[in-house]
Amino acid sequence: MNKPLILVVEDDAPVRNLMSTTLKTHEYKYLTAPTGRDAVMLASSHNPDVMFLDLGLPDMDGVEVIRQVRSWSNMPIIVISARSEDEDKITALDAGADDYLTKPFSVEELLARLRVTIRRLSIMNTSGAAESSIYTNGKLKIDYPAGCAFLNEEPLKLTPIEFRLLCLLAKNTGKVLTHTYITQSIWGRSWDNDIASLRVFMVTLRKKLEPTPDSPQFIQTHVGIGYRMLKIE
Ligand code: CA
């Protein structure tokens, strides 16, 4: 794809400048917005490929920006939040954000998140990828209609819940899914004991999926937040 256009939404000028300088240095095209109102306007007028969105904006809550943009666009949104705003991150992800960065962040982190997101974008742009009945990611293969998964061509012996978890993560490759979102999708509710069960199922799923569980390749844990399936290059 062509160089993606990035929209940076941040009211703090030094942070905004750092971000735009970084993007410029790495030859990304970018736009900047200091308010939520400007963000929504630029998002609709320029249709950027990715949005970095600070959650603490002077005129509106960043989560409100996500809700407005999500009413007409699936563009990946990476939220930026202060360390004290852990709940906000979860709210933002549940409102449709794809990923988050915690302040203060390094230039390397910013670029790493952007690379993961651009990989997600290329999956989203592959025509019919979402509808495809076979999923492949590195050595992992899932045959959705047949209800089976393979690692290195060997069938994985998964329980029905493990399989549903794996499918949910795979269908959202590149996106951070919150505990609430996952438990709602699998069990239709999100009680404390559902979240505890989720942890247990994730442990057993990972044992089957990750050859070296200490350095997982596929499923990334976001402590206190959720999980993400990574796209293997
Ligand atoms: Ca701010």
Ligand 1 centroid–CA 23 distance in Å is 19
- C-alpha 134/C-alpha 141 separation (Å) is 7
Q: With beta carbons less than 8 A apart as the criterion, state whether 88 and 81 touch.
A: yes
What is the length of the chain?
Answer: 233
Ligand 1 centroid–CA 9 distance in Å is 9
pLDDT at 132: 79
> What are the CB-based long-range contacts (under 8 Å, 24+) for 110-118?
110/19, 110/22, 110/52, 111/22, 111/26, 113/78, 114/6, 114/28, 114/50, 114/78, 116/174, 116/230, 116/231, 117/50, 117/76, 117/78, 117/174, 118/4, 118/49, 118/50
Ligand 1 centroid–CA 16 distance in Å is 10
pLDDT at 127: 52
**DSSP secondary structure code for residue 98 in this structure:** -
- C-alpha 48/C-alpha 225 separation (Å) is 27
Ligand 1 centroid–CA 221 distance in Å is 26
Ligand 1 centroid–CA 55 distance in Å is 6
- C-alpha 233/C-alpha 221 separation (Å) is 19
Ligand 1 centroid–CA 96 distance in Å is 19
**Amino acid in position 194:** D
> What are the CB-based long-range contacts (under 8 Å, 24+) for 35-42?
35/11, 35/59, 35/60, 36/9, 36/60, 36/61, 36/62, 36/64, 36/65, 38/9, 39/7, 39/9, 39/65, 39/69, 40/65, 40/68, 40/69, 42/7
pLDDT at 128: 56
Ligand 1 centroid–CA 64 distance in Å is 14
Q: Tens of pLDDT along the chain (233 residues)?
A: 578 999 999 999 999 999 999 999 999 999 999 999 999 999 999 999 999 999 999 999 999 999 999 999 999 999 999 877 678 899 999 999 999 999 999 999 999 999 999 988 877 777 555 567 999 999 999 999 999 999 999 999 999 999 999 999 999 999 999 999 999 999 988 888 888 999 999 999 999 999 776 777 899 999 999 999 998 87
Ligand 1 centroid–CA 214 distance in Å is 36
Closest CA to 56 of 27, 79, 40: 79
pLDDT at 189: 85
Q: With beta carbons less than 8 A apart as the criterion, state whether 4 and 49 touch.
A: yes
The dihedral sign for the CA sequence 101, 91, 118, 19: negative
pLDDT at 85: 64
Strand, coil or helix: what is 124?
helix
Q: Which residues contact 49 (CB under 8 A, 6 or more apart)?
A: 4, 5, 6, 75, 76, 118, 121
The residues placing their C-beta within 5 Å of ligand 1, an ion, are: 11, 54, 56
